[in-house]
Chains A and B, each alone.
Chain A
Amino acid sequence: MIQAAIAGLVSGGVYALLGVCVVLLYRMVGVLNLAQAAIGVFGMFVVLVCYENHWPLGLAVAIGLLTSAVLGGLLGGVMAHWFSEASLQVRSSVTIAFLISILTVGMWIFGSDPRPVPNLVGTGSLWVGGLVIPHLALVILGTALLLAGSISLLLQHTLLGVWLRALAERPTAAELLGVPAQALTVGVWAVAGAISCLAILLIAPSRSPEFPVLSLLVLPGMAAALLGLFKSFSLTILGGLGIGLIEGLASSLPAVAPYRQALWFLVMLAALLWIQRKEVWDAAR
């Protein structure tokens, strides 16, 4: 039972990482990005192509991360340039168009033939008290915690963090005070892009490595972000891990096991309805 739950940690950690990216963009630049995972998938496919051509894995990964960062930055630039005054709703709808574009271009360039997916971490595991904990789960967990910690430190203790917080709270006021809003927006998009590429690279070996399938991983990521109320990075990570644990547990029940990758939907629905339970009306007054 516990062993089954632990098996869900890998997925959970990846949901957590993607959730952190979603929260990052939601908080800092006011957009709910449906294309978040797709940006990462694009970079991952670049890694696969490089790996196929026998480039060193480290170099391939670096190029992939960079690709996703550049792609994210580009989209952030479009957002900053044309939709800086638009509402959250409109900006987020634009990401639907981004998602379609990335899916189309990605399928166009990389085709739909299966490619070998490298294991970044290897398949080793750790024995703790009779339980098997895969190295991969530890790496993902570590990355997620490190990330949440450094983002929190950055926001609280550096000038860049103050700028970002100002931009998040009062974009126009921040810009008038000399905060380089456009550059920051592009930067946040780029960083989130690179992180999602890493997340997708880590989960790809255990999923079917198809462009559209992996791009939909943004949804459980959003479920995790929702559990963090689109605000708290640590709660988002806990939320993602929680969803992963539920999936892991479900895999030991034969009746639910095939549908375990739909369970995040129930978590998301429950969380949304609970959070929004008092939102009877659309506007405050």
Chain B
Amino acid sequence: MLRASPWFLLALIALALLPLLLPSYWLFLLTSMLISSMVTLSVGLVSGMAGMISLGQLSFAGVGGWMVAYFNANNLPIPFVLQVLIGALVAVPLGIVIGLPALRVRGMHLAVVTFGFAAVADLFFTILNFPGGVMGKPVLRPDFLSHDRSYYWFCLFLFALLVLGVNALYRSRLGSAWLAVKHSERAAAAMGLNVAATKLWAFAMSAFIAGLSGGLLAGQVGLLSATNFSPTASLILFASAIMVGARYPAGAVLAGMMAWLVPEVLGRLHLSQNLGNLIFALGTIAALKAGGGVFEVAARQKKPTATPLFSSPATLAPTTHTPTDRVVLEVQNLCVAYGQVQALNKVSFSLKEGQVLGLVGPNGAGKSSLVDALSGFTPYQGRVQLEGRSLEGLNAAQRARAGLRRSFQQDRTITELSVQAYLEFSAGRALPKEELAWALEFAGLTALGLGLHSLNMGTRRRLEVAGILLSRPKVVLLDEPAAGLSSEESLQLARQIASIPARYGCAVILIEHDMEVVRAACSEVVVLDFGSLIEAGPTTRVLSSPRVAAAYLGEEVLA
């Protein structure tokens, strides 16, 4: 779905008309800006959206340029447009190879790896030289692009396509997935997302965009050399992308323009063009201090647009659903060990259809280990069956897709998304208005267009639960959903949780410290202490059992 805002069209028309007014020097500069903007767009994709620092984007561009130069130097009968496209496609597998370390290596270490890649690519470009470079055989453009003006329009056309495409991607599920992976890989996997594929897509697409820019640069300047794609230049483009916030396509354009305009303006003021790089460096430091580039800070301060809903929420059933005897989740002899520490020791219990089962126990009893094991984040021994199907061998994302969903103790929601985008991402489908209205009521909200960053913690937690329920899971594991809520909010949440089986027909395991919440929400509880199951049964009986009281009071006294 390609959507173009009026601003985008206006800017496009202005950019298309500019060459008619400007002398050829400026035309060359404008073309360079477009090409640089593609590189910053690719930085925004891989680093801004997906959160993986890549300091070697220009090296992908170098590969695209190298291919075009190669075709040209060998007089291969391939049309120029196709040459550029092939160059971009050749950069893709390289992007995936450089992306592979990103599956294990993160943050600054990844920055070092990608910068290292830039240095190595530079070495290769220098030694091998760009084809045609030594004999002085420049890349020739076809007749219809031979004029600088037509070439500029050609670049503009491709750039507009890229922006539209990237915009559509950012609004798509893949875009939300990139943001999800940036925020928390665990939470993303718990939503059923293939984290590795999501990361590799980001590298592949950004390498494609960067590769395209390299091919276009070959057409623009004719003769390429390693200096066109130096690691330092990569670094500076990365810095300007950070400084502006290239996650937004408009930010990428601004960053790409500044890369040429700032030195140009400085030159006209008879100042050293070196000042430009210093400005970028200082701007980057300021952006890091502010926690985001210009566009990111602006987006955070933008007033949310309230989208009114004209649909009444689907009503919640007032009565609690009585559990049947059909077992949904069967846990047998579950053991988890961290080195010598036995976190869970032969825990067995079953969850029946329509049941809200409380899982309680003092700190360190193994509750979180249990959730991590069931949801596929921690290796374990024993058996877990979901509706008769063995879950062993399934990873976290596969378990989520099979219908076993979990929430997290800490807030792991994706703050860059709007309420609606988050809900639809978590549900894994486009939601009809009634279900959105239900989710809003569940979270105590009134507008879908709000950004999650503007919501308080309690609302985000309830939104997380609502999103999980909308994915229509079979079993939900709620890991202390009431943490950080007031007692009134907690009880309200407890009543909502109690009504989940009736509304969505899924069973719930509720991990909770607050006994009021457990009493209000759960028909039965199991109690863990030191990794073993010490009691199980109806809530009121178990909670008044002396063993349970001892396990808890012991902990209370110690604390």
Q: Does A14 contact B (CB under 8 A)?
A: no
Binds A, one of B215-223, B233-241, B419-427, B489-497: B233-241
Q: Are B108 and A89 in contact (CB under 8 A)?
A: yes
* One of B116-124, B466-474, B511-519 at the interface: B116-124
Q: How far is the CB of A207 from chain B (nearest CB, A)?
A: 12
Q: With contacts A34-B112, A96-B239, A97-B281 known, is A262 near B289, CB below 8 A?
A: no
Residues 251-285 of A at the B interface (beta carbon under 8 Å): 258-259, 261-262, 264-265, 268-269, 272-273, 276-277, 279-283, 285
B278–A93 CB distance below 8 A = no
Given A89-B107, A285-B372, the answer on whether A104 and B284 have CB atoms closer than 8 Å is: no
Q: Give CA–CA (A100, B232) in the complex, Å.
A: 7
B297 to chain A, nearest CB (A): 15
Count, chain B residues at interface, CB 8 A: 46
Residues B116 and A92 in contact, CB atoms below 8 Å apart: no
Contact A104 B274 (CB under 8 A): yes
Q: Please, which residues of chain B bring their CB within 8 A of the CB of A99? A: 235
Known: A262-B120, A272-B101. A282 touches B184 (CB 8 A): yes
Q: How far is the CA of A196 from the CA of B231 in the complex (A)?
A: 21
Cα-based distance from A82 to B124 in the complex (angstroms): 39
Given A219-B116, A281-B185, A285-B368, are A108 and B272 also a contact pair (CB < 8 Å)?
Answer: yes
Contacts of B184 in A (CB 8 A): 282-283
Interfacial chain A residues near B288, Cβ < 8 Å: 83, 86, 90, 93-94, 97
Chain A, interface size: which category? Answer: 35 or more
| Residue among A34, A83, A264, A281 with most chain B CB within 10 A | A281
Which of A34, A216, A277, A279 neighbours the largest number of chain B CB atoms within 10 Å of its CB? A216
A105 beta carbon closer than 8 Å to chain B: yes
Q: Tell me whether A268 and B274 are in contact in the complex, defined as CB-CB below 8 angstroms, given that A96-B239, A258-B127 are known contacts.
A: no
Q: Judging by beta carbons under 8 Å apart, are A272 and B277 in contact?
A: no
Q: Is A107 an interface residue (CB 8 A)?
A: yes
Q: Is A141 an interface residue (CB 8 A)?
A: no
Convert B257-274 into 0s and 1s, putting 1 for each residue whose CB lies closer than 8 angstroms to a CB of A: 000000000000000101
User: Are A97 and B239 in contact, CB atoms less than 8 angstroms apart?
Assistant: yes
- Contact partners of A97 in chain B: CB under 8 A: 239, 280-282, 284-285, 288
Given known contacts A96-B235, A96-B239, A258-B127, A269 and B278 CB-to-CB distance under 8 angstroms: no
Contacts of A212 in B (CB 8 A): 230-232
Check if B106 is an interface residue, CB within 8 A of chain A. Answer: yes
Say yes or no: B109 contacts A259, CB within 8 Å. Answer: no
* Chain B proximity of A262: nearest CB distance (Å): 4
Inter-subunit contact A88/B113 (CB<8 Å):
no
A38 to chain B, nearest CB (A): 10
Given contacts A107-B274, A212-B230, whether A282 and B185 have CB atoms under 8 Å apart is: yes
B528 → chain A closest CB, angstroms: 17
Given contacts A88-B107, A100-B277, A262-B120, contact A269 B101 (CB under 8 A): yes
Chain A CB within 10 Å — which of B120, B184, B282 has the most?
A: B120
Residue of B101, B109, B272 with highest tally of chain A CB at under 10 A? B109
Interface residues of A in 34-70 (CB under 8 A from B): 34
CB of A132 within 8 Å of the partner chain: no
A34, B115: Cβ atoms under 8 Å?
Answer: yes
B67-87: which have CB < 8 Å to A? none
> Which chain A positions have C-beta within 8 A of B289?
82-83
B335 nearest CB across to chain A (Å): 19
Nearest-CB residue, chain A, relative to B372: A285
Partner of A262, one of B123, B272, B274: B123
Contacts of A98 in B (CB 8 A): 281
Find chain A residues with CB under 8 A from B109 CB.
Answer: 32, 272, 276
Contacts of B55 in A (CB 8 A): 96
Beyond A259-B127, A262-B120, A279-B104, is A96–B277 a contact (Cβ under 8 Å)? no
Report if B111 contacts A (CB, 8 A).
Answer: yes
Considering the complex, give the chain A residue whose CB is closest to the CB of B377.
Answer: A281
Given the complex, which residues of B lie within 8 Å of A90, measured CB to CB?
288
Q: Contact flags (1/0) for B164-189 with A, using CB distance below 8 Å?
A: 00000000000000000000111001
List residues of chain B with CB within 8 A of the CB of A86: 288
Q: Let me know if B105 is at the binding interface, CB within 8 A.
A: yes
Q: Does the CB pair B278–A101 fall under 8 Å?
A: yes
Q: Say which residue of A88, A100, A273, A277 sits within 8 Å of B281 (CB atoms).
A: A100
A222 within 8 A of B: yes
B242 at the interface (CB under 8 A from A): yes
Which of A32, A104, A265 is the one whose CB lies under 8 Å from B120?
A: A265
Q: Is B53 an interface residue (CB 8 A)?
A: yes
In the complex, the answer to whether B113 meets A268 with C-beta atoms within 8 Å is yes
Please name the residue on chain A nearest to B196 by beta carbon: A280
User: Within the assembled complex, what's the spacing in Å between the Cα atoms of A101 and B113?
Assistant: 21
**B-facing mask of A206-245, CB < 8 A → 1, else 0?**
0000001000100100110000000000000000000000
Q: Which residues of A contact B272 (CB under 8 A)?
A: 108
Q: How far is the CA of A249 from the CA of B107 in the complex (A)?
A: 33
Contact of B113 among A92, A269, A277 (CB under 8 A): A269
Indicate with 1 or 0, residue by residue over A96-116, a CB within 8 angstroms of chain B CB atoms: 111111011101100000000
Q: Which residues of A contact B108 (CB under 8 A)?
A: 32, 88-89, 92-93
> Which residues in window 18-41 of B have CB below 8 A to A?
none
Q: C-beta contact mask, B441-470 vs A, less than 8 Å → 1, else 0?
A: 000000000000000000000000000000
Binding site for A on B (CB under 8 A): 53, 55, 101, 104-109, 111-113, 115-117, 119-120, 123-124, 127, 184-186, 189, 230-232, 235-236, 238-239, 242, 272, 274, 277-278, 280-282, 284-285, 288-289, 368, 372, 377
* Residues of A that sit less than 8 Å from B by CB: 32, 34, 78, 82-83, 86, 88-90, 92-94, 96-101, 103-105, 107-108, 212, 216, 219, 222-223, 258-259, 261-262, 264-265, 268-269, 272-273, 276-277, 279-283, 285
Given contacts A96-B55, A281-B185, 7 further A-B contacts (CB under 8 A): A34-B115, A104-B281, A261-B123, A268-B112, A279-B106, A285-B186, A285-B372
Nearest first, the 6 closest Cβ-Cβ pairs linking A and B are A92-B108, A104-B277, A276-B104, A97-B281, A97-B284, A282-B185
Residue pairs across A and B with Cβ atoms less than 8 A apart, 15 shown, are: A34-B111, A78-B285, A86-B288, A90-B288, A93-B108, A100-B235, A100-B239, A104-B274, A104-B278, A262-B124, A264-B116, A269-B101, A272-B109, A276-B105, A277-B104
